[in-house]
Amino acid sequence: MQSAMALSFSQTSFTRPNHVLGSSGSVFSTPRSLRFCGLRREAFGFSTSNQLATRSNRIQFLSRKSFQVSASASSNGNGAPPKSFDYDLIIIGAGVGGHGAALHAVEKGLKTAIIEGDVVGGTCVNRGCVPSKALLAVSGRMRELQNEHHMKSFGLQVSAAGYDRQGVADHANNLATKIRNNLTNSMKAIGVDILTGFGSVLGPQKVKYGKDNIITAKDIIIATGSVPFVPKGIEVDGKTVITSDHALKLESVPEWIAIVGSGYIGLEFSDVYTALGSEVTFIEALDQLMPGFDPEISKLAQRVLINPRKIDYHTGVFASKITPARDGKPVLIELIDAKTKEPKDTLEVDAALIATGRAPFTNGLGLENVNVVTQRGFIPVDERMRVIDGKGTLVPNLYCIGDANGKLMLAHAASAQGISVVEQVSGRDHVLNHLSIPAACFTHPEISMVGLTEPQAKEKGEKEGFKVSVVKTSFKANTKALAENEGEGIAKMIYRPDNGEILGVHIFGLHAADLIHEASNAIALGTRIQDIKLAVHAHPTLSEVLDELFKAAKVESHATTRTVSEKVVV
């Protein structure tokens, strides 16, 4: 291992001139030694040569510029191959995370390849966020059209709403295809090499894909994502016992479907199925539905998304055994108490959707070749997504982003992590603040959140000795929401009254998923409430819900921004 480290570093230093060539000018302004800070002492031995290299880069910089110009003329923006490697960066897995990393890598001038063993787009585009949004778009409209009271309150009259299952399924499928093509084209257009085949790590900086194609790269990103997690005892047949992969194809709309797991996947599907006429039974292992959401939000969400709909639920139980429908019998679900493990009940339903979360897809990745031991399948990484081996040391030049590392299993988190890694390998230290990554659940109405929940914030406040305050506002107080007859919903902000730091924002209401970004951007940029409350929101818009929160917050310190007039250049 020691020798491998040394080797890798010597290579790094030798190839650096090449590598830096592809980087933008900003690289020079950042302290070069930063990248080595966290590594072994030997690394510092190269600092002198590194500086030399930097100096030489500066001389070569101009010529590089001209090369780039000609390159873009030939519509190939991908970086030049490094001398001793096939690529600067190889990404294993062309999901949203890999895609985001690849695009950013090319922008940074790295010669990049992406390996995909299945279809470009990964889970999100093909079996996750994207097709589910298509189904939810349908369910939202169905819900609205079926809600006579709602329509009448607008003065609208609609005759009975109906749907064509195949038409709905086609919409989801077409959307996935379209987005997949967009993704593929966006990478092709800038010259990312898309290599088809199953990728695995052969050794440091060496990757195998397909049958026996071996390529090398200075840095490797693992972005292999995840697959639906199916607890043992559950037999998935793809027809009556299904995962989200199957459900998104909408091959049938069962009269009664049990959804195992009431997280956001389960919730979104309950929204789809009930809008299409199914009855739903939730099975949740924890004591309450919608764990993971802010308790107040989940309480209200339950009141709006569960109680008035054709949904019932069993909490505090595991589905210990699920047998698909066959031999004239319905789907059988055996429930056991989550704590005592005693049998509790048996359900007979038409279908069961397993939405118990997702398991990392890391088998067969050749991780043993770099001495990495997965934890429950997840690849251990540090806060810079650098892979940690079995001994707890960092594996040089190997990164893991997205669901495979399990830090935050969201498509946009993977993408953000990928961009963070590219920033690092192109010489700029970067640590992603995961607390600034928003999450959304696209039910009707939507749920969104960023940062800490109220209990988390209070716990942190107690530990670190700061006060935590909460402000709330109702969508009922928002003109636009009322115009849409969608006054149902709340937004709450958790913050520090002493310095105005936003700790978390949770929204449940119309377009919550779009509204959260003002808060997540504020958290990411460190904007304080006393500053953002002076910003102006168009009236009447839903964004005023957040404006209301900012203005209602009681912060002890004063605004730090200069007055707007100073900033405006007229």
Binding residues for another protein, rule: CB under 8 A, are: 255-256, 279-281, 296, 299-300, 303, 307-308, 310-312, 328-330, 346-348, 350, 470, 472-474, 476-477, 490, 552
> If you write DSSP's letter for every residue of 252-291 in order, what string do you get?
---SEEEEE--SHHHHHHHHHHHHTT-EEEEEESSSSSST
Q: How many CA atoms lie within 13 A of 76 on its CB side?
A: 10
Q: Are strands 256-260 and 279-284 parallel, antiparallel or unpaired?
A: parallel
With respect to another protein, which residue has the nearer C-beta, 178 or 476?
A: 476
With respect to another protein, which residue has the nearer C-beta, 290 or 385?
A: 290
With respect to another protein, which residue has the nearer C-beta, 265 or 351?
A: 351
CA dihedral 136→140→143→144, nearest 10 degrees, is -170
430 as an active site residue: the answer is: no
Q: How far apart are CA 294 and CA 449, in angstroms?
A: 8
Instruction: Specify which residues 506 forms β-bridges with.
Output: 449, 492
With respect to another protein, which residue has the nearer C-beta, 209 or 273?
A: 273
Q: Could you tell me the smallest distance in angstroms from the CB atom of residue 329 to another protein?
A: 6
* Token pair for 562: 């200069």
Q: Could you tell me the smallest distance in angstroms from the CB atom of residue 46 to another protein?
A: 57
Q: Could you tell me the smallest distance in angstroms from the CB atom of residue 299 to another protein?
A: 8
* Token pair for 336: 């056991």
Q: Are strands 87-92 and 112-116 parallel, antiparallel or unpaired?
A: parallel
Cis peptide before 445 (omega within 30 of 0): yes
Q: How far apart are CA 400 and CA 421, in angstroms?
A: 9
Q: How far is CA 19 from the centre of its chain?
A: 29
Does residue 115 contact residue 91 with C-beta atoms inside 8 Å?
yes
With respect to another protein, which residue has the nearer C-beta, 314 or 358?
A: 314
* Token pair for 70: 């000609």
Q: How far apart are CA 116 and CA 90, in angstroms?
A: 11
With respect to another protein, which residue has the nearer C-beta, 222 or 519?
A: 519
With respect to another protein, which residue has the nearer C-beta, 65 or 476?
A: 476
Q: Which single residue is written with the structure tokens 């939730």?
A: 282
Q: Could you tell me the smallest distance in angstroms from the CB atom of residue 487 to another protein?
A: 10
Q: Could you tell me the smallest distance in angstroms from the CB atom of residue 524 to another protein?
A: 27
**Helix or strand or coil: residue 23?**
coil
Does residue 89 contact residue 110 with C-beta atoms inside 8 Å?
yes
Cis peptide before 540 (omega within 30 of 0): yes
Q: Could you tell me the smallest distance in angstroms from the CB atom of residue 347 to another protein?
A: 8
Residue 475 Ramachandran class (φ > 0 left, ψ -120 to 50 alpha, else beta): alpha
* Token pair for 25: 């000018």
Q: Could you tell me the smallest distance in angstroms from the CB atom of residue 166 to another protein?
A: 19
Residue of 391, 374, 367, 400 whose CA lies nearest to 2: 391
Question: According to the 3-state scheme, what is the secondary structure of 301-342?
Answer: HHHHHHCCCCEEEEECEEEEEEECCECCECEEEEEEECCCCC
* Active-site pick, 412, 537, 539, 558: 539
Q: Could you tell me the smallest distance in angstroms from the CB atom of residue 467 to another protein?
A: 13
Q: Could you tell me the smallest distance in angstroms from the CB atom of residue 131 to another protein?
A: 26
Q: How far apart are CA 96 and CA 114, in angstroms?
A: 12
CA dihedral 113→118→121→123, nearest 10 degrees, is -130
With respect to another protein, which residue has the nearer C-beta, 255 or 556?
A: 255
Does residue 319 contact residue 334 with C-beta atoms inside 8 Å?
yes
With respect to another protein, which residue has the nearer C-beta, 309 or 430?
A: 309
* Enzyme catalytic residues: 539
